[in-house]
Chain A
Amino acid sequence: MVREKEQTIILKKQPRIIGSYSIVGPKEGKGNFGRYFDYVMKDDSFGENTFEKAERKMLESAITGVIEKAKLSTKDINLMIAGDLLNQIISSSYAARMYPFPFLGVYGACSTMAESIAVASVLIDGGYFDNVVCCTGSHFSTAERQYRFPLELGNQRPPTSQWTITGAGSCILSLKGEGPRVTMVTFGKVIDWGVSDVNNMGAAMAPAVRDTLLRHFAATKTKPDDYDLILTGDLGKLGSEILIDLMDDEGVTLGANYGDCGQMYFKRQQKTLCGGSGAGCCATIFNSYIMQKLREKQYKKILFLPTGALLSTTSTQQGDTIPSVCHAIVIEA
């Protein structure tokens, strides 16, 4: 059922997340969630000769890993929905050639994980697919050279910058089997409040979260306290402070149950300034720590809101502002 005004979908069949898998780089493995990840790579190149190939291999092992973990075979999968940060989402498409099932490429920058889960649950709810694999990843070294500077350049990172996560997360959605249920989906509008600083993505994305959150609360008649956890993707330290202020202005208080993946990702001494970012950021935390807590019923109902900054290097060089999007999904144990 879609509530026209607020564009929120309340799923009838409530697809279950029957398996999840996460793979991260060595720096991420030393972070706060190190012990929850399924696989920590020994080095960022993952035995490949380019970082692009490493990212591809990371996505491949996430997909293969989750299928094995859910005790399924590739024959059981009807569709794969995946995305990443590289131009023309090559990591996902190239990873998809390995598999015998159809592929749907999605791009929502760092919000891709929620976008793929949202699309998958709607498709399953509509009765068209049984088992759908969702996968998202990013790699520090490939993102850095595509969006910023060569790795060897001796420059300093501004205090508002965030660290792109090297990692990939994947999950399988299905009507059969055990696992947390996806119950609601709110697709995001593209919001642009005129921020153009590429080193301050959190500030650019916070208004998108505000919009999606407000629409979601209005449509579902819920309030922040109804959720055990409200988790944004990669607003970072600064961005999540901004979001709290923005929501405060609207009379909604985000309290202790609010968290941000990017902010939580690294330990303080890892010097990542405003925290983690990238498509792999919320994907890896969601498919490891969060899923585990949901399975253990420590969290009963969570609101997951990854955000994406929809910019490219061209738009940046032409002085454009940064449009952002935020998709919300509700998951109940």
Chain B
Amino acid sequence: MEIFLDYLWVFLIGGTVCAIGELLIITTNITSARILVTFVLVGVFLEAIDVFDYISDFAKAGINVPIVGFGASLAKGAIGAVKTHGFLGIFTGGLTATAGGIAAAIGFAFIFSLIFRSHTKN
């Protein structure tokens, strides 16, 4: 039962975050690149004010899978690295924490673009 509730939370929160994105698209007509940028910045901000972890505790994937989570890990990496490495951490922290995601996105994009061709829309 508990696991079901967990997943319900994930679904509801994740869905709401996405619906907010869609609402932004409908009301302001902004492009998907701007949507992504906005949500990354929201994530960075939430982590910077140390709120993200509290949300993440009960929202789990609901907040980590949306790109907000990507922004939060960037900020979290930077903050953590500053604490352990000092000034150098400002530069190394963010990308170190998100290296997996960025490398995966680049790597898979490269491989799949070699394999597949673009399809026309219907």
Contacts and interface: CB of A to CB of B under 8 A. Distances in A.
- Direct touch of chains A and B (CB < 8 A): yes
A55 interface: no
A151 B32 contact: no
Contacts of B32: 149, 153-155
A260 interface: no
Contact of B120 (A151, A155, A158, A197): A151
Main SS at interface, chain B: loop
B118 A141 contact: yes
A251 B113 CA distance: 56
Interface string B22-43: 0001000101100000000000
Q: What size tier do the contact residues of chain B reach?
A: under 10
A35 B2 CA distance: 60
B120 to A, nearest CB: 4
Nearest to A54: B120
B121 A140 contact: yes
Contacts of A141: 118, 120-121
Provide the main secondary structure of the chain A interface: loop
Nearest to A141: B120
Given A156-B25, A158-B29, A199-B29, A151 B119 contact: yes
A50 to B, nearest CB: 9
Nearest to A140: B120
A151 B118 contact: yes
A100 interface: no
Interface string B82-122: 00000000000000000000000000000000000011111
A153 B33 CA distance: 11
A152 interface: yes
Contacts, number: 29
Contacts of B29: 158, 197, 199
A149 B120 CA distance: 12
A45 B118 CA distance: 10
A31 to B, nearest CB: 12
A27 to B, nearest CB: 6
A162 to B, nearest CB: 13
A291 to B, nearest CB: 28
B31 A155 contact: yes
Contacts of B118: 51, 141, 150-152
A84 interface: no
Contacts of B120: 43-45, 51, 140-141, 151
Interface of A: 27, 43-45, 51, 140-141, 144, 149-156, 158, 197, 199
16 contacts: A44-B120, A45-B120, A141-B118, A141-B120, A144-B121, A149-B31, A149-B32, A150-B118, A151-B118, A151-B121, A152-B118, A152-B119, A153-B32, A155-B31, A158-B29, A199-B29
Please list the 10 inter-chain residue pairs (A to B) with the smallest Cβ-Cβ separation, ordered nearest first. A44-B120, A155-B32, A141-B120, A151-B118, A151-B121, A152-B118, A158-B29, A27-B122, A151-B120, A151-B119
